[in-house]
Structure 1
Amino acid sequence: MPDRLTNVHPYERLTLPNGSQADIDLEMIPLMRALWAMGLKTVASCQNLGESITAEPEGAGQGRRHAAYLTGQAWLRMPTQDAQTMLGHLAQSPVFADRFGRWTHPDAWENYVYLLPGRDDDGVVQLSSCAQIHFPAPQILEVVDALPPVP
């Protein structure tokens, strides 16, 4: 998966907690703000990852199957510890706990931490520092509502 996808969705440029700026898909803004208010970091997001992959040159070739699978799926890329914190809060809800544990459920989430080769040519494989979280896009606002309220 590319590190940066062309933004194909309507977006707004927001100032991140660290003072830098990023273009955030409009449908993801409430979730991103809720995560930032919790002190969690985000690395990337998309309101419909399959649509974004399809818009990329690779999406027309080998990526077609991957894009079809991820159409309708929102995507978050977060530092692994922050993803664990977010998912831990959501897992306290019976609705979300069920979605995390049943990958065949139509509302299921998929959460990954990839194994990647090290930077040196030493044969060491390491866990990625970021988690990839895919979930049905219609759940975005439901996630916001299930997170701790912003003080």
Structure 2
Amino acid sequence: MSPVPAPLHPCTPLRTPRGSTVPVDDDLVPLVGLLWERGIGTRSCCQDYGDLLALHAPGLPAGDPGWVAFFTGRVWVEIDADATDTLMRVLVRDGELRLAMSQWGLPGSWMWVRPVLPDLVGEGARAVGSTHLFFPREHLDQVVRVLRSAGH
């Protein structure tokens, strides 16, 4: 059995709503906890996706400078796809976040990505069951405030 790699960022173990324990980057503990309270499942997260890409980039050469530069300073949270609309409806209540979500490719912009893959027999495509959310780390506290103020 391979050893478990050390976490990239300092982590806190959290008990998921399903009862397992997972490491969550320290800076994302409040956000992930609020998402779980709202019934939004998470699959992965990183408090600085550029750091992760510098070491390992799924589908890209590790350390690809263009991708690393673009994603440095961005939070990554992978959520259940069926919760995407719910989360976005809460977050767009904040005008600054709504503007950041409405732009793409700018330093302060957000991205919501839901991959679409071909099926194995080549007869069509399917959207995967998760949405990848990338946003500037400087918006993290604001996102947490908006989620807290929105309640359940």
Question: Which residue is 2:62 aligned to?
Answer: 59
What stretches of structure 1 of length at least 5 have no aligned partner? none
- State the TM-score, normalized to the length of structure 1: 0.86
Aligned partner letter, 2:135:
F
The more displaced of 24-33 and 96-105 is 96-105
Cα contact 1:44–1:77 (8 A) shared by 2: yes
Secondary structure at 1:8 match in 2: coil
Question: Which residue is 2:113 aligned to?
Answer: 112
1:51 Cα deviation from its structure 2 partner: 0.3
1:67 Cα deviation from its structure 2 partner: 1.7
Counterparts of 1:39-54 in structure 2 under 5 Å?
Answer: 39-54=39-54
Question: Which residue is 2:14 aligned to?
Answer: 14
Aligned partner letter, 2:56:
E
1:123 Cα deviation from its structure 2 partner: 3.1
Structure 2 CA distance for aligned equivalents of residues 99 and 44 of structure 1: 22
Residue deviations 1:111-151, cap 9 Å, x none? 11111122x32332111211111000121111010114457
Aligned partner letter, 1:44:
S
Structure 2 CA distance for aligned equivalents of residues 148 and 85 of structure 1: 15
**Aligned-residue CA RMSD in angstroms?**
2.0
Identity fraction in percent: 22
Structure 2 CA distance for aligned equivalents of residues 6 and 138 of structure 1: 25
Question: Which residue is 2:147 aligned to?
Answer: 147
Structure 2 CA distance for aligned equivalents of residues 41 and 6 of structure 1: 24
1:107 Cα deviation from its structure 2 partner: 1.9
Structure 2 CA distance for aligned equivalents of residues 146 and 111 of structure 1: 18
Secondary structure at 2:134 match in 1: strand
Aligned partner letter, 1:37:
E
Could you list the structure 1 runs, at least 4 aligned residues long, displaced by more than 3 angstroms after superposition: 148-151
1:44 Cα deviation from its structure 2 partner: 0.7
Cα contact 1:14–1:23 (8 A) shared by 2: yes
Residue deviations 1:87-130, cap 9 Å, x none? 11001221111111122543211111111122x32332111211
1:83 Cα deviation from its structure 2 partner: 2.2
Structure 2 CA distance for aligned equivalents of residues 51 and 6 of structure 1: 14
